[in-house]
Amino acid sequence: MIVKEAPLQGVKVFEPKVFGDERGYFLEAFQSQRYKNAGIDLDFVQDNISRSSKGVLRGLHYQLRHPQGKLVTVVRGRVFDVAADIRKESPTFGQWFGLILDDQNHKQLYIPPGFAHGFVVLSDHVDFCYKCTDYYTPDDEYGVAWNDKTIAIDWHILEHNLVLSDKDRQYQQLADISSELLPKYSG
């Protein structure tokens, strides 16, 4: 497995070894000790899978009282995946990192607790997997507007092609979110 540090502290890109032949391929999607050796010393407690169609944008989501670290990957299809640093007092506050995750490159992205996360579907359909370091808590859902002016993400898709949930459409700009509702940077 190849591990690459992203420009945002704690965000990592994993490239698992893929063994392929005429029958298809095999890869080890998760092995706890390898990820601990790569600096992720949190236990993953929940796995989630979502299926979405082309143009669906999910995000930018985060949790405050029960922050989740997320190890994300695509099983089928292609997305542009984003981690945004919204931790108040962080030296990279308001910056983002994104990359293509798909069923050809098999890359994984680790988004630490305290970051906002989102993705947009670039293929006809996608099956997207999240390993999470804390349990989903419905009353701890927060978000930043997908088109936030401070973060200014290039989503790699035209705005008129986007499909958003009502909830994702209503999130505020980062500058309008009370600092009490933003994660803290812990250095």
Percent of the chain at pLDDT > 90 equals: 86
Instruction: Give residue limits of the domains in the chain.
Output: 2-177
- Would strands 57-62 and 24-27 be described as parallel, antiparallel, or unpaired? unpaired
Active site residues: 61, 130
Least confident of 58-72, 117-131, 136-150, 156-170: 156-170
Provide CATH code, domain 2-177: 2.60.120.10
Is residue 18 within 8 A of residue 104, CB to CB? The reply is no
Residue 145 φ then ψ, to 5°:
-55, 135
CB-based burial of residue 160 (10 Å sphere; 0-12 exposed, 13-18 middle, 19+ buried)? exposed
Q: Residue 160: what pLDDT? A: 77
